[in-house]
């Protein structure tokens, strides 16, 4: 059975209606999260004990949203770069996601939960590993 597109916000104006799909809210949240320094990418969950990192095309897969008529709650699943101070980065993700969703959709974001699913090493660390082998 084909999944119907969920409309999370619908507004009637004098010229017609405006509809925002839940997928749009998820993409906004994912893009806002990856703008934060230290975020390596979105996570699709933990598979076999290893966090699966998603590319840009799957931005909404690392995000869950619950949306009412006027409010939204967001769960973000990220992979971070090694050496980043996670509490500071998570607070910045919360602010970015809240501001982006509220600015673009008019919804009030009441909660942004950040779930760190993995850590990756920078490119420099990867290059050093190859020299040692």
Asked if pLDDT for residue 84 goes beyond 80, the answer is yes
Residue 120: how many CB atoms within 10 A of its CB?
A: 15
In degrees rounded to 5, what are phi and psi of residue 3?
-75, 130
- Give the residue from 26, 8, 7, 24 showing the smallest Cα distance to 64: 26
Checking if the pLDDT of 79 tops 60, the result is: yes
Rounded mean pLDDT of 46-69?
69
pLDDT at position 47 is 53
Mean pLDDT of 47-62: 61
Mind listing the pLDDT tens digit for each residue in 88-97?
999 999 999 9
Residue 51 has pLDDT above 60, yes or no: no
pLDDT at residue number 133: 57
């Amino acid at each position: 059975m084909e999944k119907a597109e969920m409309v999370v916000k619908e507004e009637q104006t004098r010229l017609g209606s405006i509809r925002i799909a839940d997928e749009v809210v998820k993409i906004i949240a994912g893009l806002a999260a990856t703008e934060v320094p230290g975020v390596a990418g979105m996570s699709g969950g933990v598979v076999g004990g290893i966090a699966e990192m998603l590319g840009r095309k799957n931005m909404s897969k690392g995000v869950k949203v619950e949306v009412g008529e006027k409010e939204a709650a967001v769960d973000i699943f990220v992979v971070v770069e090694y050496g980043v101070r996670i509490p500071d980065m998570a607070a910045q993700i919360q602010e970015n996601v809240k501001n982006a969703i509220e600015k673009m959709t008019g919804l009030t974001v009441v909660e942004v939960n950040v779930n760190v699913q993995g850590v990756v090493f920078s490119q420099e660390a990867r290059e050093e590993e190859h020299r040692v082998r």
